[in-house]
Structure formats: C-alpha cells, structure tokens
Amino acid sequence: MIAVLLTTAILMLIITNRHFNEQTGRYHEDILKRKENAVLASIDYLLDTYPGKVTKDNVYQILEGKILEISDINKLNIIIYDLRGNVMLSTQIEEPRHPVLPQNILDSLAKNEYYNETLDSKDENRSYYASYNYIKDVSEFENFAIINLPYETNDVFLQEDMFTLMGSYGVAFLFILLLGAIMIYVVSKNTFNKLSSFADRIKETQVISNNRPIQYEKNDEIGILVDAYNEMLIKLKEQSEMLAEVERQETWREFARQVAHEIKNPLTPMKLMIQSYMRKFDSEDEVLVERTNRTSNILMQQIETIESIANAFSDFAKMPSRQDEMIDMVQVIQNTLEIFSIKHITFTFSNPNIQTMFDKQYLNRIVTNIVKNSFQAIPPNRTPKVSVDINLKDDMIFITIEDNGKGISEEEKSQIFKPRFTTKSSGSGIGLSMVKKIIEDYNGKITFESFEDLGTKFIIQLPYTNEHKTI
C-alpha cells in the first residue's frame, strides 16, 4: 500500500510537470501566432498601399525602409528570405540561425505554405520557436518572399511557478503518505496478529489427532478463514479414518502386485525358453548337449533371480543385496537376450570382452525389464525390431536399447520412472523405477529418447571398473 501511494505521488508529479511544460509550449506558440498575424497584416497593408506593382524583384526595396518599424512595434525580429532561401533582410544583430533555409523547410512551405519549428536552446531557462510563411499577393496567388519570425523566450518565471506548484503537491503527497503509512501499520499489525495466531493453530493441526476448533466471534475476513478451518477439521477427521483403512488395504495389494510382477519377469521368459526347447528337441541333434547346457544355464540364471527375489520379498519387498563380482557384461546380456525372440533382436558390442565389477542378477533384471517393455510397446501389426548395444568409452559403459514401438507421449515422459506409473492395464509400474534405482546405486544414469509412433531408445551409462572391490 505504501508503494502504491508513493507510486501515485511520483506519477502525479510527473504528469503535472509534463502538463505544465505542454501548457507553457502552447502558451508561447499562441503568442508567436498572434505576433505573426500582426506582422503579416502590417506587411500586407504596406504592400497594398504601395503605388506601383509589387513583384518578387522589388519587394526588397519596399520592405527595406519599413521592416525595422514593424519589428519594433511587434517586439519581434524579422528575417526575409527570397524564394530560394537566401537572406534578403534581417533585423537581428547576430547572424540568422539559417543563413540559407534547409531543403526540408522549403519543401514544407511548398506543400503547406507554412512551417513551425521548436529548438532546444543552450540555456535551459530559454526556449526558441520560429515560424515561416510566404509574403504573397492574395489576389493573384503570387509568392514574393519568405518571412521568418524567430521567437526566443525566458522561462525563469514560469519555471519558478512550476516549482512552487510541484512543492505544494509534494508537501500534500508527503502528508498523505505519512498518514497512509500510519493507518496501514495499525491495520496490518492488527491483522498480522490475528493471522499469526491462526497460523500457529494450523501448524499444530495433524491428520490423525483430536484437533480443537478455533473460537472466533467477529464477522470479518479472518472469521471466514476460521469457519473454513473448523469445517476442514470435521472433514479431516472423517477422511483420516477412511484413509487409514484404505492405506492398510492398499499396502497389502501393492505388496502382492510387486511380488507377482517380480516373480513373473523371470517366469515368463523361462516358460518361453522351455517351449522353444521342446519344439526344437531332437534326440539325434549333434549339438543337443550344447543346447541343453546353454538352456539349462539360462534357466538356472533365471531361477537364481527368482530365488533372490523371493529372499528379498521375505524381508518385506527389499531388493537383493548387491553381490558385485567380475563379470563379462557382453556374455551376461547375450544370455539374457536368448530368452526372447532372437530373430527380432539385434545385439552389437564394441568389445567382445567387457569385464567389470557388477551384480549379475542386477544386470539381468535391468536388461530383462527394458527389453520386455520394448516388445510390449510394439503394436501387433508391426514387425518387432529391438536393438541392444553395449559400448565402452571414456571409462563409461553405454548400454542402449532401442525399439520401433509406439513411443512415449509427452504427457507420460515426466512420469515414466515414477513408481506405480504404467501405461499397461496389467502392469504394476515398478519395473522401470526399480531399474532406475539399481543404475543410480552404481552412480550411473538412465535417460531415454522417444518419438510417438516411431519408437523409444533407452541409454544407460554405468561407471567402468576392472578392479575387484569389497562391497
């Protein structure tokens, strides 16, 4: 409020100063106009009473003897130019401001038959005005010469009046400002004390507690807040009881969903792996032993994952503790991808042997979750294409997984790593959040690029270390 009052006072002073200056300018322009009319009338009378014919060639001789008299009567200097802008006569002691008229003045005279100018003076207390007109024969519409009437004023007295007026305004506004500040202080302090007390009660409010309503008798703005607060307490008590019951039920539902999701991740590819093995089983196959061993190893790896998940959820849904060991990341990822449809997956690597300290089960979970999501994001009418690449660069391991699915919408991009967020009707929404947490536990980073109806690419960055560490 003080700022509003102060701003108003400053704006009023600025507007008053501007208006005063405009009025002063119009006042001097009016004076110059009256003097101009008087001078032109005197010159017209002089030319009308001349016994001979007035032409642009003899106008100089006609005006020369009378120009000083006309100047003295009107207390105004007079400068006469010929039609080309050269000085013919002047009553000024000093040289005219324009010894030769500029082309813009001549053009304005030719178009409008007059020209006015206002110039800044070197002395801030003085102003300079000037008018330009034709001396002409009105009856025959013939121009004889150009007359310039310079008018210089002294604004000292007008400025003193302005400063007096501004001072009076300043005193009045200062009084209003002080009075307003006192009133604002009293009102705001009283209001602040009430609001402070009200705020203290709000800070004491708890969701599950026997909150006491505020007793307030006055019917003012604070009273509206107090009534709303008391109504809120009643609703808060009812909703807190409902919320406690819902949370108990939701906790068990969430726990069950998480267990089902984590167990289902390895079970689904295991089922597909066994079905594929059974379809291709041939007792006379030369590589039967090798294929059986590879399938067994992959199944054992998935069974170990299920076992670690079961152990973790037995401790209330905790992730398995990290068991870092020196692993070949290319080999682990390759084994993980074999549970999917290999013909739709392209796996590339910059180095066939990338040894680093990492938990094999964690890496398996990361790749399984993202690749599985990639296949689920591909529409049924589109041939699936999933590419997986691992690259070692600048002591960082880059794993990229790209698909040709439907992509992620702009609205979903900010939610994709949040727990319980899912775009699938059957998903629990903890897969990608779990992946993000694993990667961040290794001081890594996961980002993605996605374009709707074109596909999504996940980029995983993990620090590379080839030294054994104790975890």
Q: Across the 471 residues of the chain, what is the mean pLDDT of every consecutive 10-residue run?
A: 81 82 80 87 85 82 85 89 89 86 90 83 71 81 87 72 78 84 85 77 65 73 77 77 68 65 72 76 73 80 72 50 86 89 88 89 91 89 92 92 90 76 53 85 91 92 70 34
Output the pLDDT for position 385: 92
Q: Nearest-CA neighbor of 180 among 11, 10, 15, 3? A: 3
Output the pLDDT for position 64: 84
Please return the burial class of 282, using the count of CB atoms within 10 Å of its CB with bins 0-12, 13-18 and 19+: exposed
- Looking at residue 86, the DSSP 8-state letter turns out to be B
CB 269 within 8 A of CB 368: yes
For the chain, the residue count is 471
Kindly report, residue by residue over 173-218, the tens digit of the pLDDT. 888 888 888 888 888 888 788 777 777 777 767 655 566 777 777 7
CA 42 to chain centre: 68
| Per-residue exposure over 199-221, b if at least 16 CB sit within 10 Å of its own CB, e if not | eeeeeeeeeeeebeebebeeeee
Output the pLDDT for position 366: 92
Place of tokens 């302090």: 189
2-162 against 322-471: fold identical: no
Task: Tell me, yes or no, if the pTM score tops 0.75.
Answer: no
Q: Nearest-CA neighbor of 117 among 18, 28, 17, 39? A: 28
Query: Whole-angstrom Cα distance, residue 39 to residue 264?
Result: 107
Output the pLDDT for position 258: 66
CA distances from 341 to 8, 181, 273 (A): 76, 78, 9
Query: Whole-angstrom Cα distance, residue 84 to residue 265?
Result: 99
Q: Nearest-CA neighbor of 261 among 306, 210, 222? A: 306
Q: In what order do the strands lie in the sheet with 345-349?
A: 345-349, 386-393, 396-403, 455-463, 445-451
Output the pLDDT for position 417: 80
Report the relative pairing of strands 87-90 and 325-328 from DSSP bridges: unpaired
Angle at 224 (CA atoms; ends 222, 226), nearest 5 degrees: 70
Query: Whole-angstrom Cα distance, residue 385 to residue 351?
Result: 23
SS3 414: coil
What's the count of helices (H) and strands (E) in the chain, helices before strands? 11, 12
Kindly report, residue by residue over 132-180, the tens digit of the pLDDT. 998 887 676 788 889 999 888 766 666 677 778 778 878 888 888 888 8
SS3 399: strand
CB 386 within 8 A of CB 374: yes
Output the pLDDT for position 402: 94
Residues paired with residue 110 on neighbouring β-strands, in sequence order: none
Output the pLDDT for position 26: 82
Listed by start position, the domains of the chain span: 2-162, 322-471
Query: Whole-angstrom Cα distance, residue 365 to residue 360?
Result: 9
Output the pLDDT for position 163: 77
Residues paired with residue 398 on neighbouring β-strands, in sequence order: 391, 461
Kindly report, residue by residue over 216-226, the tens digit of the pLDDT. 777 777 777 77
Place of tokens 């002073």: 13
Q: Considering the domain 322-471, what is its CATH architecture?
A: 2-Layer Sandwich (3.30)
Joined tokens for residue 269: 């590819």
Amino acid at 155: D
Q: Nearest-CA neighbor of 250 among 422, 423, 428, 415? A: 428
| CATH T-level topology, domain 2-162 | Beta-Lactamase (3.30.450)
